[in-house]
Chain A
Amino acid sequence: MVGFLVRRLLSTVLVLIGVSILVFLIMQLVPGDPVRSMLGQAATAERVTEVRHQLGLDRPLIVQYLDWILGVLHGDLGQSLTLSQPVSSILFPKLGNTMILAGGSLLICLVIGVPLGMVAARRQYSVVDRGSMFVALGGASVPVYWAGLVIINIFALKLGWFPTSGMYDTRNPGGFEDVLVHLVLPSVAAAVVPTAVVARMARGSMVEALHADHVQMLRASGVPERLVIWKHTLRNILPPVVNIVGLQAGYLLGGVIFVEVVFNWPGLGGQLYTSITAGDMPMIQAGVLFIALVFVVVNLVTDVAVALLDPRTRKEA
């Protein structure tokens, strides 16, 4: 177990370094010039060069990169070029917000996706099955920026149940409850795709589990269907489900960008999008690094959990 963890963490570090290099290289190619976009229409060439120099953007790439990576190793993520703020002071809150959103969506996709998949599997090829799978699939096949607006229109405008967008009330921002009310619609919108994936996945493994020999043995021993399903089979599909849910958690971190835009949720995705278009190197670097880190950690946790969940692999893990 320990060796396994050590190996994984080591590879994580390598991956992260790789990511930072990859991002750095890609971003060199983005047309956006942070200084230009900072100084706006009236910028003159001479001023631009002056600012570039002040920001050290006129140094050779490798120097810029090493300088940045050294900073990171000292816990300094650097300054945002366009917002002239410490990257951490902007990214940490946004990462938090994205995690809240992702968490909400994950909850939904667990509570709905797994049972949906199981029910579908119980009545394989039935109307229920086809129907629910079609719904799940349909959800994943709609452009979020369109569906999101429809959701807003119905639940925020027509019914007035939830706020249209944002994270806090505008006039008197509240605490947890306030966030919760604002969280509902975006997390539903963000949950659609993962729920679909999880439901289909759950259905798949459920079908498999139901055809397992031991299920027949249980039935032959007079174990009631209720127990067969909700005790034995559920336990059997737990590892694959946990696994897929873990993957979705990773996806949600970067995949909710459209939801963030439509519901004006101040998350990492939206921030990174603007930073990318503005070529704001330090922001993108740090942001992607965060996501990558969380991503890798989530995967690690998932793998360990799966390993622990299955008695057959528990020892090896």
Chain B
Amino acid sequence: MDAILLQILNGLDKGSAYAMIALGLTLIFGTLGVVNFAHGALFMLGAFCAVSIDKLFSMEMVALSATETTAWGTPLEIRTLYVEAWFGDFGQWLNEWSVLVSILLAIPFMLLVGLVMERGLIRHFYKRPHADQILVTFGLAIVLQEIIKAFFGANPIPQPAPDALSGMADFGAAVGMQAGAVVYPMWRLVYFLFAAAVIGAVFSFLQFTTFGMVVRAGMADRETVGLLGINIDRRFTMMFGLAACVAGLAGVMYTPILSPDYHLGMDFLVLSFVVVVVGGMGSLPGAVAAGFLLGILQSFASMNEVKQLLPGIDQIIIYLVAVVILLTRPRGLLGRKGVMEA
């Protein structure tokens, strides 16, 4: 029971990341009809927003020691944090909470990246075959990750969670079980709540604002909305920015769970496409549902009991589920007819 509950938590956590990436991917696909292979790279860029802020806050004043030397003979460097030197305790606080602080940077930055990407590149590919869209966005993904590699190297870069949130939470006690039976890392719970909030915000934005209503109408029938004299294009550009933002935020908050490196985006790319398609092309609730479903199934498939029964099942579970769902439900969980079927 405890084990199962823990695996559900694991699954929700994984699912949070999958769902947020897939949500953004579906937004772009649903509004613009563009297959965006650079979406994983946006997730990675978000993660590196956190890295940059952390680096910025950990920038050190360097003074050379007069007496000590390093093993290779140069004078030893004595380092102090700039933020601490400048802002004292507040600086220390900034350094401590850099992951959350970097959200503030990530939102405008990712928005900007999204807008520039859409206006500068993707816009020219709306009427082009999907194959061309794949090629150009894949090219862009490579370029983005190589730029990151040139600046940050290929090694993963650790991003500690703030101390206050890095301990274990007694989840079992909170839901009325015996104390200590189900303890779970606090940050992972934070991540899940954060994902829920972001997903909720996107849905309510689309549901309750006029902007969102127009976008939804445009997703269903772009031409008609265009005929009504509404500049749907500009709204779609904004949606691209929003999608980039969601991916970026998912990336920022994921850094304490997974030390980011430049290749992070590619690792998530294939998976997020599977999630989107299993959810059904063009369906936002489908993408979210599929994200959580696959996350939880992946967790269960990794349990020792299951692995002993079916060796290697945890290696293929995601793909196996995708095959089964696509064969039983031709358009995924909640897909619409005629979208990306030709």
A complexed with B? no
